[in-house]
Amino acid sequence: MPRGVPFTGESLSRYLAGQKRWNEAREWRARETEAGRPSAYGDFCRAHGLCPACAATGVSLNENGAGFKTVGSSGNLPLYEQCGACGGTGRIVNPS
């Protein structure tokens, strides 16, 4: 069963950092497109060591990509599924 984590602390910080990164990502994607190289958001994430599976938040996205998967609650606090691709770090995990 996936580990449930609250969307506070590190997850929230990574989410907010991602919001600030949108302009950087848009500019990077425009440059890559102009150069004829792959330029999807996933390509941006991989080029910057960010987990594309969770948009660098460490929390699994819903199937439709809007919002995050909930896996239960702790009192009134919803718990979200930790990203299995990066183990909740928001960074690309290098295989050993």
* Interatomic CA distance for residues 77 and 69, integer angstroms: 14
Element (H, E) at 62: none
pLDDT in tens, 7-60: 676 777 777 777 778 888 999 999 999 999 999 988 999 999 999 888 888 889
* Interatomic CA distance for residues 15 and 18, integer angstroms: 5
Measured at the CA of 93, the angle between CA 73 and CA 61, to 5 degrees, comes to: 35
pLDDT in tens, 63-92: 887 788 888 888 888 888 999 999 888 898
pTM for the whole thing?
A: 0.75
